Amino acid sequence: MNLILDPLAWLILLPLLWATLAFVATDRYGPRLAIAGLVGQLLCAAMLAQDVASHGSIGHLAGGWAEPLGIRLFADGLSAVMLLLTQGVALALVLYARSYFSQATPPAFWTLTGFLIAGMNALFLSGDLFNLYVTLELVGLAAVGLVAAGGGAAQIAAALRYLLATLVGSGAYLFGVALIYGSYGTVSASLLGQLINAEAPIAVWLAAGLMLTGLLLKTALFPFHFWLPPAHGGAPAPVSALLSALVVKASFYLFLRLWLGPFAALTEAQPWLAQLPAALGASAILWGSWQAIRADRLKVLIAYSTVAQIGYLFLIFPLFGTGALALQAGILQVTAHGLAKAAMFIAAGTLIKVSGSERVLGVAGAAVHLPVTLFAFALAGVSLMGLPPSGGFLAKWLLIDAALDQGHEWIAGIAIAGGLLAGIYVFRVLRLAFRVTIADDEAAPLRPAAVLEWTALALAAASILLGLFAMPLINLLAGVTR
């Protein structure tokens, strides 16, 4: 293999390169740089997934130094799936954003998007707890910048609240890393697995608590979701989509990695601990859905739906007992929700742009004016509800299967109840959309650019088709060792 074309390294270098070039050009060639870069990154992610499928896990020693001295990057099936999802969704969103912001792009939008994607890719590829902290800062600060960009007072306030939440979260994480370094003298995730298994002083329990709680804050799991609805609901549609579909999944990914990797010895010693994230996840599903059902503004409704859908991700933790089923269910949910939520937010962005109203009531009549966008919204809703044959259905099916297998009937019950609640808030929007407004002398609303409609439809269709063509993904995840 040609060393200089190592796809793993270029997944980190490419977005940093185009983001920096966009910075020099004051965002002028931003869209072109972003699209060209993301096409290259998507190729790299596909090559990496291919390599992982045939070789298992792939390592890369940054600087050529072995652990504990250096930083080891690695990719396995889990990282490969996250990377594919990130590049794929980001490419569609960038195409959408180019048209959505045709009048006025928020300052530094393209540069921040590039750094955000670079941070996420670096996070999915890192095997070093301190390096992971640096990637968390890249992702967190870039995301806060995107929320603040070009907004009024309300948006800056949401960005500041988000900044405080994300800083407290990464601060707690860093505190934990310091405790771990003090206890073992290394921050390499793979070495720590064996060391913690051999001996776990109190400091490590504290470190695990601080790090995992910090990540829950960043993932916005109930009751740490307070910052999410204003940040995701108030930002411009492409930014909301990036944040809801991808950014919250990055900290979830790290939570999952720590749970299954370095801290596996702790979570296996006290199996009841796994009930905590599951209980919070169940509360998130109920509370988020209820708030989505009551929401007055369309994007706040979708943001609360994210709060609820994140809940599902944490239902898998008591179910790791047998095989890869729980992990497959969780990551399939990450993928299906990522595609569907990106589609839903940008569809909502188009609906709001055309109707001029941010309220849920503003969608009235959309079935006539914007059939393609509304169809995308509905397809995304089908995946969120978990109706067959969508990716959301397959994820819930696997989850319920794993739950019944392990005798956790309540988890299966919550999963089904969450689907019904999602049905209520999705149909609340759809019912209004089909209500034909009586137009006296109203001119037909402006037609949005075709790319705004078709990117949403492509993402929504992908979330449905995922249910039919999930086998390669499931196979990739089957090879993930704990």
Partner 1 sequence: MKRFVRWLSILALTVLAGALLLAISSLPPAPVKLAGEVAANLAVSGVSHPVTAVLLNFRGYDTFLEVAVLIIALLGMLAAGLPPPPPTGSRNAMLPTLARLAVPLMVLAAVYLLWAGAFRPGGAFQAAAVLAAAAVLLHLAEIQGPWPDNARGPRLAIAGGFLLFLAIAAALLVNGGLLRYPPEQAGLNIVLIESGLSVSLAVNLAAFFLLRAPKS
Residues making contact with partner 1 (CB under 8 A)? 3-4, 6, 9, 12-13, 16-17, 20-21, 23-24, 26, 60-65, 68-71, 73, 106-109, 111-112, 115, 118-119, 122, 130-131, 134-135, 137-138, 141-142, 144-146, 148-150, 156, 159, 179, 181-186, 191, 195, 199, 201-203, 206
Cα separation, 229 vs 374, in Å, equals 22
Query: Look-up: residue for tokens 């449905």?
Result: 464
Q: What is the DSSP letter of 359?
A: B
Question: Which CB, 65 or 434, lies closer to partner 1?
Answer: 65
Question: Which CB, 88 or 145, lies closer to partner 1?
Answer: 145
| Longest alpha-carbon distance in the chain | 77
Query: What is the closest distance, in whole angstroms, from the C-beta atom of residue 160 to partner 1 in the complex?
Result: 9
What token pair was written down for 222? 């109930």
Question: Which CB, 64 or 356, lies closer to partner 1?
Answer: 64
E strand or H helix at 451, and its extent? helix 450-465
Cα separation, 177 vs 182, in Å, equals 9
Collapsing DSSP to helix, strand or coil, 270 comes out as: coil
Question: Which CB, 119 or 281, lies closer to partner 1?
Answer: 119
Question: Which CB, 198 or 443, lies closer to partner 1?
Answer: 198
Query: Look-up: residue for tokens 């405080």?
Result: 164
User: Angle at which helices 189-198 and 153-184 pack, to 10 degrees?
Assistant: 50
Q: Are the beta carbons of 12 and 138 closer than 8 angstroms?
A: no
Question: Which CB, 132 or 315, lies closer to partner 1?
Answer: 132
E strand or H helix at 60, and its extent? strand 58-62
Query: What is the closest distance, in whole angstroms, from the C-beta atom of residue 21 to partner 1 in the complex?
Result: 8
Query: What is the closest distance, in whole angstroms, from the C-beta atom of residue 252 to partner 1 in the complex?
Result: 21
The amino acid at residue 50 is Q
Collapsing DSSP to helix, strand or coil, 102 comes out as: coil
User: Angle at which helices 391-405 and 450-465 pack, to 10 degrees?
Assistant: 30
Reported residue count of the chain is 482
What token pair was written down for 248? 């919250």
Query: What is the closest distance, in whole angstroms, from the C-beta atom of residue 444 to partner 1 in the complex?
Result: 36
Query: What is the closest distance, in whole angstroms, from the C-beta atom of residue 195 to partner 1 in the complex?
Result: 6
Query: What is the closest distance, in whole angstroms, from the C-beta atom of residue 322 to partner 1 in the complex?
Result: 33
Query: What is the closest distance, in whole angstroms, from the C-beta atom of residue 138 to partner 1 in the complex?
Result: 6
Give backbone dihedrals phi and psi of 237, rounded to 5 degrees, phi first. Answer: -55, -45
Question: Which CB, 150 or 321, lies closer to partner 1?
Answer: 150
